[in-house]
Amino acid sequence: MSRETISQSISIVHPISLSHGKNAEVWDTSGKRYIDFVGGIGVLNLGHCHAGVVEAIRYQATQLTHYAFNAAPHAPYIELMDRLTAFIPVDYAVSGMLTNSGAEAAENALKIVRGATGRSAVIAFDGAFHGRTLATLNLNGKVAPYKQKVGVLPGPVYHLPYPSADNGVTCAEALKAMDRLFSVEIDVNDVACFIIEPVQGEGGFLALDIEFAQALRRFCDENNILLIADEIQSGFGRTGERFAFSRLGIEPDLILLGKSIAGGVPLGAVVGRKALMDNLPKGGLGGTYSGNPIACAAALATLDAMTDEHLKTWGSQQEEAIVSRYEAWRAQGLTPYLGRLTGVGSMRGIELANTDGSHAPKQLAQLLGLARDAGLLLMPSGKSRHIIRLLAPLTIEPVVLEEGLDILEACLKQLD
Same-domain status, 355 and 326: yes
Domain assignment present for residue 333? The answer is: yes
Query: Is residue 31 included in any domain, yes or no?
Result: no
Q: For residues 361-369, give the mean pLDDT.
A: 97
Phi-psi region at 10: left, alpha or beta (left = phi > 0; alpha = psi -120 to 50): beta
Of 148-162, 254-268, 316-330, least confident by mean pLDDT is 148-162
CA distances 5 to 9, 10, 12, 132, 395, Å, are: 12, 12, 15, 21, 35
For residue 263, give the CATH number of its domain: 3.40.640.10
* Residue 33 lies inside a defined structural domain of this protein: no
Go through 259-280 and write b for each residue having 16 or more CB atoms within 10 A of its CB, e for each that does not.
bbbbbbbbbbbbbbbeebbebe
294 and 318 inside one domain = no
Cα 29 versus chain centre, distance: 28
Q: Is 98 helix (H, G, I), strand (E, B) or coil?
A: strand
Please provide the average confidence, as pLDDT, over all residues in the chain.
Answer: 96
276 and 313 in a single domain? The answer is no
Domain count along the chain: 2
- Kindly report, residue by residue over 128-171, the tens digit of the pLDDT: 999 999 999 999 998 888 888 888 888 899 999 999 999 999 99
pLDDT computed for residue 1 by the predictor: 53
- Residue 262 pLDDT > 90, yes or no? yes
Q: What is the span of the domain harbouring residue 358?
A: 308-413
Does 119 share its domain with 208?
Answer: yes
Residues 205 and 293 placed together within one structural domain of the fold: yes
pLDDT beyond 80 at 265: yes
Residue 27 belongs to a domain: no
User: pLDDT at residue 43 above 60?
Assistant: yes
CA–CA separation, 245 and 255 (whole Å): 9
pLDDT at residue 145 in the model: 87
Whether 406 shows a pLDDT value over 80: the answer reads yes
Cα–Cα separations (whole angstroms), residue 316 to 108, 304, 346? 34, 20, 7
One domain, residues 93 and 174: yes
pLDDT at residue number 373: 98
In this structure, the strands spanning 387-390 and 268-273 are unpaired
Q: In which band, very low, low, confident or very high, does the pLDDT at 3 lie, cut at 50, 70 and 90?
A: confident
pLDDT of residue 150: 83
Residue 221: pLDDT above 60?
yes
Whether the bond between 198 and the residue before it is cis, its omega within 30 degrees of 0, is no
- Contact at 8 Å (CB) between 305 and 50? yes
Cα–Cα distance for residue pair 161/169, rounded to 1 Å: 7
Confidence of residue 4 (pLDDT cuts 50, 70, 90): confident
pLDDT digits (tens, 9 = 90+) for 66-107: 999 999 999 999 999 999 999 999 999 999 999 999 999 999
Task: Give the number of C-alpha atoms closer than 13 A to the C-alpha of residue 371, restricted to the C-beta side.
Answer: 29
What pLDDT score does 146 carry? Answer: 87
CATH assignment of the domain containing 379: 3.90.1150.10
Percent pLDDT > 70 in the chain is 100
State the pLDDT at residue 142: 86
Residue type, 13: V
Q: How many CB atoms lie within 10 A of CB 15?
A: 8
Report if residue 107 sits inside a domain: yes
Look at residues 305, 322, 351 and tell me which one is the last residue of a structural domain. Answer: 305
Q: CA-CA distance, 192 to 182, in Å (whole number)? A: 13
Mean pLDDT computed over 112-140:
95
Q: What is the mean pLDDT of residues 107-133?
A: 97
pLDDT of amino acid 2 = 60
> 212 and 148, same structural domain?
yes
Amino acid at 115: G
